[in-house]
Amino acid sequence: QYFLNMLLSKLVNLIVLCAFDSSWSFDATIREGATAFLLGIHIQLSAEADLLLNVNVPALFSALGDPDAYVFTCINQTAEREELEEESRRISDVRPFMGVLRLVAREGDRVEKLTNTQISLLIGKGLHEFEAQKNHEVNEFRAKMRTFCEEKAQERQMLPWQQWMEYSFPCDLEPCCSPPECGSVKSKNTKKIFINVKFEACDVSLSAVVDPQDFPVALMKSALKKKATVFRSVRQEPEDYTLQVNGRWEFIYGNHPMCQFKVSDRSRLKPVFLYDTFLYFEQGRMCSQGYKTRSLSRPPPLPLKKVRVQRQLSSFINRAAPLSLSPHHSCSSTRLRTLLVVQAGLFHGSELLCKVVTTSEVTVCSEPLWDQKLEFDINVADLPRMSRLCFALYAVIEKAKKPRGTKKKNKKAVSLSKTSADCPIAWVNTMVFDYKDQLKTGEFLLSTWPSVPDDKSDLLNPMGTVEKNPNVDSAAGLLIRFPNIRPHPLYYPPLDKVRILKRLFFMSTNLQRGKTFYISHFTSLTQLKFFEDEKDLLWKLRTEVRDHYHESLSKLLLITKWNRREDAVQMMSLLRTWRDLPAIHALELLDYSFPDPVVRSFTIRCLRKLSDDELLQYLIQLVQVLKYESYLDCDLTTFLLERALSNWRIGHFLFWHLRSEIHVASVSLRFGLILEAYCRGNIHHIKLLSKQNEALGKMKALSDFVKSGSQKMTADDLKLCIRQESYLEALSDLLSPLNPSIILTEICADKCRFMDSKMKPIWLMYNPCTQEDMVGIIFKNGDDLRQDMLTLQMIQLMENLWKKEGLDLRMIPYGCLSTGNKMGLIEVVKNSDTIANIQRNSSNSAATAAFNKDALLNWLKSKNPEDKLDRAIEEFTLSCAGYCVATYVLGIGDRHNDNIMIRETGQLFHIDFGHFLGNFKRKLGINRERVPFILTYDFVHVIQQGRTNNSEKFERFREYCERAYKILCRNGMLFVNLFAMMKAAGLPELTSFKDIQYLKDSLALGKSEEEALKNFKVKFNEALRESWKTKVNWMMHSLAKDNRP
C-alpha cells in the first residue's frame, strides 16, 4: 500500500525502503529484498523492471515507461545524490543513506552516464567536481584531452595485428640481447634452447630446439614441422599462431632474439637462456579471459564550497588559521606579543627575480587588514613568461626577557630587551600570467597551504604548487589585487614575434684563446651555483657551449638572467638550434628550476626518443615532475598520455602512479583530470582496472579487520573472512596491479595469513592457473611504499646498467606498487626466507642464533643437491656483491637480519627500504648501524664455500664489487637527476638537494675513477672489519622479533 500511494502521488518517483544485507547486489538480491517485501514474487529481470512489474496497477501501469527508462538514485555517504548506473555493484559498496533508494526517470545519455560513473568510481574522484570548479582552464583542458584521447582510441582500432600486439602485450625484453657475463664463465651464443611447446587446440605437447639468436618465428616453424611429422598432418604456417607464455598474459613475437626475452620465473632459468618453459600456441585472434567486473564503490569527496570574496582593493588575510606555536614559543613563562606579516617574492623556477617585499606588521585578529601596495623592483616588460608570485604568512613573536646576569631579587635592575622570532603559518603561489599568456588583473582569493612550523630557513616556497588549497574551511585566504596597467589586456608575446637581437656579445681575442679550456672546466663541475663573474663569462660563451658542450645546457640555463628580457629571448632563440640531449641529461630539465615552456618543450622533444622500456624505467619520476607544471595543458601531460595510449603496460602503471596520490589535495585536480582523459582514451581498460580497484578495497577492509581485532585474533579469523562470497569474488580473477601480465585466478584462503608486525601486512596466496607455483602478494596498509618503489627502481636500473656492461649480478628487484594513501602491494618472492629465520631455525637460542656462521651455508646445502650447490654459491656470491654496492651507494639503513633474504637458488636480496640516503637508524641517540654496508663473516663463509683458505673466491667477489661500483660511478649523474626529480614526492628523507648530497659523495662525483675506487676499497675493508657490530645489532633484533610463520 505504501508503494501504491507513492505511485499515485508521483508516477515516476518510487521510493524503495528496505533493510539490505551487505552481500546483496542490484542484479539479483535487491529483487529478493524489495520485491519479496512487496508482493513475495521473484522474477529474473533487472531491478527496475522487477519493481515496475510489482506495481502493476491497472489504472496507472499503462503510463509507465520501459524499465530502461528508469534508474535508481540514492544519497551516498558524502551527502550527494548519486545515480546508480552500474547495477552490478553491491549495496555494501554503495552504502545508501538510511537504506533508501529512489527510482526516477532516466535523463540524458545512459552510455555517457554509465561511463562517467565508472570513471568516477575508478579514479576516486567524482567528475562532477571538475564541473563544479567553473574554471575555464579546467573546462578547456578536459575538452582538448578528451578529443585527443578519443582520436588515439580510434587510431588504435585501425592498427594491424602486429601493432595491436605491441600495444596490448608489449614484449618484456632484457636491456641487451648479448648474454651478460655471469661469474667467471661466459655463456655462449651457440648453446641451444630446449622448449616445451603445447598446442592448445589439440592439447598436444612437443619439445622444440632453437638457437638463442633465432627469432620467435623460428621456434614456431620448428614446432609446426615437428607436429606435422609426428601426426602426419598438413604443415601449417606460423602466421596463424601466437606464442604465449604459460599461464600469463605475456607473448613472444617480433624480430627479437629468443635470448632477449625475459620469462616468468627467473629462478627456473639459467643465467641467460630459457629452459623448461611452457609456451602456448593460440590459433587466430587472442581471446582474453572473460572477467566478471564490478566497480568498487568509493564515494567521491565533498565538492569544494564557494568562498565569498570580500571586495577590498588591498591585500589582506581572510580568516587566518588559528596561530599554532611550537614549544619554544610557549607563552606560559614569558610575555609575548604576536604580529602578522606577509612576505612576497617573484620567482622564475628557483631564481628570485628581484628583492623580496614585506608588508607592515599587524596585530592578530580574525580578519587582519594591511591596506598596502606591494611594488617589486622589476619592469613588467622584463617579467619572464613563467613568473610566479609567492606569498608567505608568518607571525613575528616579540618576547620580553631579562638580560643575563640580572639578579631576581633586584627588581629595579631588570631591564627588558626585545627579541623576535618568525613562525611560518601559511604559503601560497600564483602565476603572474594566466594559461592564455595574459597578464593577470583584478582580484584573486588565494586559499593558502599550511607551513611547517619548524622550517624557518625559507618562508617562501617557489617549488610548491600554484593550485589553491581546496580545503577552504580550514585554510587562511589571501585576497590580492593585480593592477590594470593598460586599458586593454596584456599578453606575453610568442617567441616568433619577439624582436631578436641580431648580434650576440663580442668576445675579445684573449677570451677566444682560453674559452675552450674554461668551458671544459665549467662543464665538469657538479655544483649548481657559480660566482657572478663566472656567470657573465659563460654567458658570453653560450654559442660555444651549444656547439661543443651541448650536454651542459642545464648549467647555461641556470646562469641565464631571466629578469632581463634580452637574455631570456636570446636563450630561447638559442634552444631552437640546440642539438637533442640524451635522456639522462634531458630528464634534469624537468626540474622546477627550468619552468620556461620553450625549455620544457625541448625536453619532451628529447624524451620522445625513449623506448617504451626506458620510459617505464623513468615513469615514477615523470609522474612526480607533473607537480612542477604551472598549467594543466602542458607538453609533459600530452606526452605521457600519448605513450600510455600506445602501450597498455605504460598506461597501467601511469594509472596507478597517478591514482595512488589522488588523495593529495595539491595534485588531486591535475591527476584526476589526467586519469579521466586516459580512461576516455581506453574504455576497455576501465573494467580491468575497476576489478583491481575493487580487490584493493577488499584488501583494505581485511587489513582494517585484522588491525581492529584483539591480540588473540588468529589467521583462521582472516581465512573465514576471505571465504565470504563477496570477498572470494572480488579477490579472484583479476590481473595483478604489480604486473599486468600475471593473472590472479583463484585466491587460496587456507594459505593466506598476516604478519605479526605493527602494520600487520596481509599475505594473499593464489592458486596457479597452470602447473606453476602459487603466486603471492603482500598488501600493506599504513606505510608509504613510494620510498620502497624508488629504491627498487634504482636497483633495477643498476642491474640494467651492469648487464649492458656484460655483468649479471643476479639481483631481485621484486615488484612494489603504491596504490593509495599509505597502502600498496609487494610481490612475494617464492622459495625464500629471511636470514633471521634461517639463523633461528638452526639454533636453540635467539641470543646465539645471529653468531652461527654455518647456518646460511648449511641451509643452502639442504636446499641444493651437490650438483647444484656450486651454482647456488655462485648465485649467492654475485647477488651479495650487487647488493653490497647498491646498498652502499643508496645509503640503505635499517639492515637487520629480517630485512635480508635468500632464495633456495642462492640469490641474496634486501627488502624493506624505509631508510635511505644515509639516514641510518638510531636508538636512544646511539647509531645502531656503523658499517657502510652489510658484509658479515657468515656471508664470507658461504662465498668461500666453507673453507677459510679459499681466498681466490673472496678476491673474485671483491672484483665483482669493484667492477659494479665503477659502472655506477660512470653513470652517477643519472642517479642524481632521478633522485632530484623525486623531491616533489614529499618523501620525508628526500625533500631538498641537501638530502642528495649523500648520493653525490657515495658515487664520488667530481673525482676520477681511481680516486672513487680507492675510497670504495676503504669502505669495503671497513664493512668487513666492523662486521661484528652488525652481528650484535642482529642479535638484539632477534631477541625482540620473531616473524617465523
| pLDDT reading at 463 higher than 70 | yes
Residue whose C-alpha is closest to residue 480's, from 551, 590, 376: 376
SS3 percent helix, strand, coil of the chain, rounded to 5, is 40, 15, 40
**Digit-coded pLDDT (tens) for 224-239:** 888 888 877 777 788 7
Per the DSSP assignment, residues forming a β-bridge with 244 are 251, 280
Asked which of 138-142, 395-399, 724-728 is least confident by mean pLDDT, the reply is 395-399
Amino acid 142: pLDDT: 96
**Residue 416: count of CB within 10 angstroms of its CB:** 10
Percentage of the chain modeled with pLDDT above 90: 47
| pLDDT reading at 436 higher than 80 | yes
SS3 of residue 83 by DSSP: strand
Question: Are residues 557 and 467 part of one domain?
Answer: no
Question: Are residues 1008 and 893 part of one domain?
Answer: yes
Inside any domain, residue 955: yes
Asked which of 309-313, 347-351, 482-486, 890-894 is least confident by mean pLDDT, the reply is 309-313
Question: Are residues 585 and 437 part of one domain?
Answer: no
Where among 634, 663, 686 does a domain terminate?
686
| pLDDT reading at 262 higher than 70 | yes
| pLDDT reading at 523 higher than 80 | no
| pLDDT reading at 373 higher than 70 | yes
Question: Are residues 368 and 267 part of one domain?
Answer: no
Identify the H or E element spanning 343: strand 335-348
**Digit-coded pLDDT (tens) for 823-833:** 999 999 999 99
Amino acid 68: pLDDT: 75
Question: Are residues 467 and 522 part of one domain?
Answer: no
- In sequence order, the 6+-apart residues with CB closer than 8 A to the CB of 328 are none
SS3 of residue 543 by DSSP: helix
Amino acid 10: pLDDT: 42
Question: Strands, DSSP E only, in 752-904?
Answer: 753-754, 762-767, 775-781, 816-820, 823-827, 832-834, 900-903
Inside any domain, residue 534: yes
Amino acid 528: pLDDT: 54
Alpha-carbon gap, residue 483 to 313, rounded angstroms:
9
Q: Mind giving me the DSSP string for 658-684?
A: HHTTTT-TTTHHHHHHHHHHHHHH-HH
Amino acid 522: pLDDT: 56
Amino acid 280: pLDDT: 41
For residue 913, name the pLDDT band (cuts at 50, 70, 90).
very high
CATH code at 50? Answer: 3.10.20.90
Residue whose C-alpha is closest to residue 853's, from 910, 776, 921, 938: 938
Amino acid 173: pLDDT: 85
Separation of CA 533 from chain center: 41
Q: What DSSP state is assigned to residue 723?
A: T
DSSP alpha helices (H): ranges in 947-992?
951-970, 972-981
Q: Are 836 and 998 in contact (CB under 8 A)?
A: no
**Digit-coded pLDDT (tens) for 170-210:** 888 887 655 445 544 344 445 677 788 887 766 777 787 88
Asked which of 140-144, 301-305, 418-422, 1027-1031 is least confident by mean pLDDT, the reply is 301-305
Q: What DSSP state is assigned to residue 25?
A: B
CATH code at 901? Answer: 1.10.1070.11
Amino acid 297: pLDDT: 31
SS3 of residue 158 by DSSP: coil
Average of pLDDT values for 253-264? 80
Question: Are residues 278 and 340 part of one domain?
Answer: no
The whole-chain average pLDDT of the chain stands at 80
Question: Are residues 1014 and 878 part of one domain?
Answer: yes
Question: Are residues 431 and 366 part of one domain?
Answer: yes
Alpha-carbon gap, residue 899 to 916, rounded angstroms:
14
Inside any domain, residue 731: no
Where among 82, 107, 132 does a domain terminate?
107
Number of structural domains in the chain? 5
Query: What angle separates helix 951-970 from helix 786-804, to the nearest 10 degrees?
Result: 100
Q: Does residue 511 or residue 362 have the better pLDDT? A: 362
DSSP alpha helices (H): ranges in 31-160?
36-38, 47-53, 91-94, 110-123, 127-132, 136-157
Which domain covers residue 630, as residue numbers?
500-686
| pLDDT reading at 650 higher than 80 | yes
Question: Are residues 348 and 259 part of one domain?
Answer: no
Inside any domain, residue 968: yes
For residue 15, name the pLDDT band (cuts at 50, 70, 90).
very low
Inside any domain, residue 185: no
Q: Are 819 and 123 in contact (CB under 8 A)?
A: no
Residue whose C-alpha is closest to residue 636's, from 662, 680, 602: 602
Alpha-carbon gap, residue 1004 to 959, rounded angstroms:
19
Q: What DSSP state is assigned to residue 445?
A: E
Per the DSSP assignment, residues forming a β-bridge with 357 are 344
Alpha-carbon gap, residue 996 to 389, rounded angstroms:
27
Inside any domain, residue 704: no
Amino acid 564: pLDDT: 92
Question: Are residues 671 and 569 part of one domain?
Answer: yes
Question: Are residues 540 and 399 part of one domain?
Answer: no
Q: Are 793 and 620 in contact (CB under 8 A)?
A: yes
Question: Are residues 444 and 518 part of one domain?
Answer: no
Where among 431, 453, 482 does a domain terminate?
482
Pairing of strands 193-199, 278-283: parallel
Per the DSSP assignment, residues forming a β-bridge with 765 are 776
Please give the radius of gyration of the chain, using alpha carbons only, rounded to the nearest integer.
33
Amino acid 399: pLDDT: 63
Asked which of 231-235, 459-463, 472-476, 760-764 is least confident by mean pLDDT, the reply is 231-235
Alpha-carbon gap, residue 371 to 373, rounded angstroms:
7
Residue whose C-alpha is closest to residue 930's, from 826, 800, 1032: 1032
Q: Are 793 and 916 in contact (CB under 8 A)?
A: no
Average of pLDDT values for 640-650? 97
Handedness of CA 56, 61, 65, 69 (dihedral sign): negative
Query: What angle separates helix 1009-1025 from helix 1027-1040, to the nearest 10 degrees?
Result: 50
CATH code at 371? Answer: 2.60.40.150
**Digit-coded pLDDT (tens) for 945-981:** 988 877 899 999 999 999 999 999 999 999 999 999 9
**Digit-coded pLDDT (tens) for 63-83:** 677 777 888 888 876 667 788
Q: Does residue 371 or residue 730 have the better pLDDT? A: 730
Cα 44 to Cα 30, 41, 144, 940, 997, distances in angstroms: 11, 10, 43, 70, 67
Q: Does residue 112 or residue 772 have the better pLDDT? A: 112
| pLDDT reading at 770 higher than 80 | no
- In sequence order, the 6+-apart residues with CB closer than 8 A to the CB of 768 are 247, 745, 774, 775
Alpha-carbon gap, residue 534 to 932, rounded angstroms:
37
Asked which of 43-52, 117-126, 342-351, 584-593 is least confident by mean pLDDT, the reply is 43-52
Q: Does residue 544 or residue 514 have the better pLDDT? A: 544
Amino acid 925: pLDDT: 54
Range with top average pLDDT, 413-427, 511-525, 799-813: 799-813
CATH code at 510? Answer: 1.25.40.70
Alpha-carbon gap, residue 167 to 171, rounded angstroms:
10
Q: Are 700 and 93 in contact (CB under 8 A)?
A: no
| pLDDT reading at 1031 higher than 80 | no
Amino acid 300: pLDDT: 34
Buried b (16+ CB within 10 A) or exposed e, 10-44: eeeebebebebeeebbbbebbbebbbeebeeeeee
- In sequence order, the 6+-apart residues with CB closer than 8 A to the CB of 226 are 206, 208
Q: Are 990 and 891 in contact (CB under 8 A)?
A: no
For residue 51, name the pLDDT band (cuts at 50, 70, 90).
low
Inside any domain, residue 679: yes
| pLDDT reading at 455 higher than 60 | no
For residue 89, name the pLDDT band (cuts at 50, 70, 90).
confident
- In sequence order, the 6+-apart residues with CB closer than 8 A to the CB of 660 are 786, 817, 818, 819, 820, 821, 824
Inside any domain, residue 791: no
